[in-house]
């Protein structure tokens, strides 16, 4: 799965991306700093199952710190979108295209109101307008694609299938199209929509295909009242107050071994003596995360993967009694799986050959046999039994 970080220019997208991935994305206070999309790996965080099992884990594909499992998650940061991007303004369609493969989007807005929709400095700008602008640009872009194929669509009686084929690159599924069809009055036989209908369909489809979490960034420069006002204007949305700048600074301090800090935590401890300037900055950041229960950056990514994309964490093992792989590593891998996935789908994710030879699974916690179509649960520890064993 892939989560895209989007927004208008100069909202702190690259700062949040760098904090989440500790990659060297270029960061500056001017529009279009990101010329090419940055792709990286961050980590979602969950309580590790080793506590429940009473063992000490030895992770291989992830990390575990103080009982918090850090699981790899794919992220892409795309250059800022401005009004008229679908017409080629700003960096234009190039960057709209970079978002095709994303399963969910984290839109970064300036909750302090210090920048407008084009990323220019201002005072008291309304960040909720950025949300509407980005959604409108994406809907315009998608509807333009649909309208450009209207002659072909009008010849197909199976219009829903035709749309699925057209939009397959967007990871659009027949279920998503059916869901939109149930909510809107669209004709899918020999489609001949107006631009308005195409845009309405696109907007509804994007709500399902590219769900959005709002990262209300620069809260360290804004106010809690401003965050509340933004949340009130976006009912039903996930709105998370963030400070990308503080999160990035904390992760850099942790990398230099100045502090012990677990991403997403509302506190940290000093690891070694800091100079006077460093200590002053760290104490300011400590006060901020204590008051706001963290910087919100890790929470935004966790929300995208767990609450919006509805992933669960599963631990595959080869020995259901010791919870180890064949090297003796305890709970070596933590794998993100879509809620509702089966044991066979877990086997496929491990290796296609394992899936082909799979006989059944074993619930390592309960020591019971499971069928291939068993629906996995969060924090399951599973052994896959194959014909070769």
What CATH number does the domain containing 247 carry?
Answer: 3.40.50.300
Residue (of 231, 13, 6) closest to 102 by Cα position: 6
Domain boundary among 309, 335, 359: 309
Pairing of strands 212-217, 238-241: parallel
- Look up residue 22 and give its DSSP letter: -
Domain boundary among 309, 324, 359: 309
Q: 172 to each of 103, 162, 177, how far by Cα in Å?
A: 10, 12, 7
At residue 93, the pLDDT reads 54
At residue 249, the pLDDT reads 95
Residue (of 83, 84, 90) closest to 34 by Cα position: 90
Same domain, yes or no: 30 and 93: yes
Chain position carrying tokens 């629906």: 375
Which pair of tokens denotes residue 14? 């690259």
Q: Where are the beta strands (DSSP E) in the chain?
A: 2-6, 38-47, 63-65, 68-77, 104-110, 212-217, 238-241, 259-260, 269-270, 311-317, 335-338, 358-363, 368-370, 380-386
Domain of 331 in residue numbering reads as 315-386
379 lies in a domain? yes
Residue (of 210, 229, 378, 222) closest to 296 by Cα position: 222
Single pTM value for the model: 0.89
At residue 38, the pLDDT reads 74
Instruction: Round to whole Å and give the CA distance between 338 and 345.
Output: 10
At residue 155, the pLDDT reads 92
Same domain, yes or no: 209 and 335: no
Same domain, yes or no: 140 and 201: yes
Same domain, yes or no: 111 and 234: yes
Pairing of strands 358-363, 380-386: antiparallel
Give the count of domains, the chain. 2
Pairing of strands 68-77, 63-65: antiparallel
Could you tell me if 62 and 101 are in contact, meaning their C-beta atoms sit under 8 angstroms apart?
no
Same domain, yes or no: 269 and 324: no
94-98-104-105 Cα dihedral, nearest 10 degrees: -50
Which pair of tokens denotes residue 2? 């892939």
303 lies in a domain? yes
122 alpha carbon, distance to own chain's centre: 29
Instruction: Round to whole Å and give the CA distance between 259 and 262.
Output: 10
CATH code for position 338: 3.10.20.30
DSSP structure string for 47-78: E-THHHHT-----SSSEEETTEEEEEEEEEE-
Instruction: Round to whole Å and give the CA distance between 43 and 105.
Output: 16
Could you tell me if 122 and 230 are in contact, meaning their C-beta atoms sit under 8 angstroms apart?
no
Q: 201 to each of 103, 150, 166, 204, how far by Cα in Å?
A: 18, 14, 14, 5
Could you tell me if 83 and 117 are in contact, meaning their C-beta atoms sit under 8 angstroms apart?
yes
Instruction: Round to whole Å and give the CA distance between 151 and 165.
Output: 15
61 lies in a domain? no
What does the radius of gyration of the chain's CA atoms come to, in whole angstroms?
23
At residue 79, the pLDDT reads 67
Same domain, yes or no: 327 and 299: no
Same domain, yes or no: 296 and 254: yes
168-171-175-176 Cα dihedral, nearest 10 degrees: -110
Chain position carrying tokens 């690159």: 169
- Look up residue 199 and give its DSSP letter: H
Q: 37 to each of 74, 139, 211, how far by Cα in Å?
A: 13, 21, 20
Chain position carrying tokens 């496929």: 348
Same domain, yes or no: 293 and 333: no
> What stretches in the chain show pLDDT beneath 50?
24-35, 90-92
Instruction: Round to whole Å and give the CA distance between 49 and 38.
Output: 32
Same domain, yes or no: 267 and 350: no
Domain boundary among 309, 334, 349: 309
Contacts of 93 (CB under 8 A, 6+ apart): 85, 86, 141
Same domain, yes or no: 252 and 326: no
């Amino acid at each position: 799965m892939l989560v895209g970080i989007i927004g208008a220019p100069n909202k702190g997208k690259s700062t949040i991306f760098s904090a989440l991935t500790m990659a060297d994305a270029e960061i500056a206070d001017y529009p279009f700093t990101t010329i090419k999309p940055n792709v990286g790996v961050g980590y979602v965080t969950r309580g590790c199952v080793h506590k429940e099992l009473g063992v000490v884990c030895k992770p291989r594909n992830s990390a575990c710190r103080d009982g918090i499992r850090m699981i790899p998650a794919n992220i892409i940061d795309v250059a800022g979108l401005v009004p008229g991007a679908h017409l080629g303004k700003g960096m234009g369609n190039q960057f709209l295209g970079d978002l095709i493969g994303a399963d969910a989007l984290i839109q970064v807005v300036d909750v302090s109101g210090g920048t407008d929709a084009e990323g220019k400095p201002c005072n008291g700008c309304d960040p909720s307008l950025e949300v509407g602008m980005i959604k409108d640009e994406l809907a315009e872009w998608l509807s333009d694609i649909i309208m450009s194929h209207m002659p072909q669509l009008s010849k197909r009686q199976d219009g829903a299938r035709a749309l699925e084929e057209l939009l397959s690159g967007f990871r659009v599924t027949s279920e998503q199209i059916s869901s939109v069809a149930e909510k809107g009055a669209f004709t899918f036989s020999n489609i001949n929509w107006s631009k308005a209908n195409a845009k309405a369909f696109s907007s509804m489809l994007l709500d399902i295909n590219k769900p959005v979490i709002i990262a209300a960034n620069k809260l360290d420069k804004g106010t809690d009242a401003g965050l509340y006002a933004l949340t009130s204007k976006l009912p039903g949305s996930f709105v998370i107050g963030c400070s990308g700048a503080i999160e990035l600074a904390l992760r850099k301090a942790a990398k230099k071994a100045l502090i012990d800090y677990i991403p997403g935590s509302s506190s940290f401890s000093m690891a070694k003596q800091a100079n006077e300037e460093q200590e002053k900055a760290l104490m300011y950041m400590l006060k901020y995360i204590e008051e706001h229960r963290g910087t919100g950056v890790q929470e935004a990514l966790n929300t995208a993967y767990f609450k919006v994309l509805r992933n669960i964490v599963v631990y595959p093992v080869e020995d259901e009694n010791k919870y180890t792989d064949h090297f003796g590593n305890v709970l070596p891998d933590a794998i993100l799986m879509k809620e509702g996935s089966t044991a066979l789908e877990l086997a496929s994710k491990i290796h296609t050959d394992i899936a082909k030879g799979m006989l059944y699974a074993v619930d390592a916690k309960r020591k019971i046999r499971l069928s291939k179509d068993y629906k996995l649960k969060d924090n399951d520890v599973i052994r896959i039994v194959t014909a070769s064993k």
